[in-house]
Amino acid sequence: MIASNKKSNYLRSWKQKHHDYSGKILNWFQVILLLQGSTIVNIIPWIAFFGVYSLIISLLEYYENHIPLPKISGGLPNIVLSFNLVLSLLLIFRTNAANERHWEGRKLWGVLVNTSRNLGRGISIIIEERSCKDRLEK
């Protein structure tokens, strides 16, 4: 039982599906990079860029006493704070708009479900059944 469970899990894996489709045996990392529509390939350069940028900032912070760095003026934190406030308000409005679109779609889907149920109920009431075969066709 355990062996069959492992086999069924293996048959449902991406690695096996890719092998069945292309005939190539690849490891998991190669399969992830080959998936159609995968965003990992597009994200990896950005992750590397921001990782190096963070490393540089960390090294500058660590060696602050040895390397003379310009001091931040008093007005810059206020500018950053106001920029963050504007950005957060924009994100709030965007989230509210997305929530309204979701709710409107949910209401329309509910109307569609109710209408189709009423249609099915009306068909089952109005159309007469003369035999069991008519019931299946209805």
More confident residue, 49 or 87: 49
The confidence score (pLDDT) of residue 2 equals 47
Range of weakest confidence among 7-16, 28-37, 54-63: 7-16
The confidence score (pLDDT) of residue 124 equals 85
In angstroms, the Cα distances linking 102 to 13, 95, 107, 114 are: 33, 10, 9, 18
Highest mean pLDDT among 24-38, 80-94, 111-125: 111-125
Highest mean pLDDT among 31-40, 64-73, 74-83, 119-128: 119-128
Q: What ranges do the domains of the chain cover?
A: 1-76, 85-138
More confident residue, 20 or 37: 20
Strand positions, DSSP E, 2-116: none
**pLDDT tens per residue across span 70-94:** 666 666 677 878 888 888 888 888 8
What is the Cα–Cα distance from 7 to 13, expressed in whole angstroms?
Answer: 10
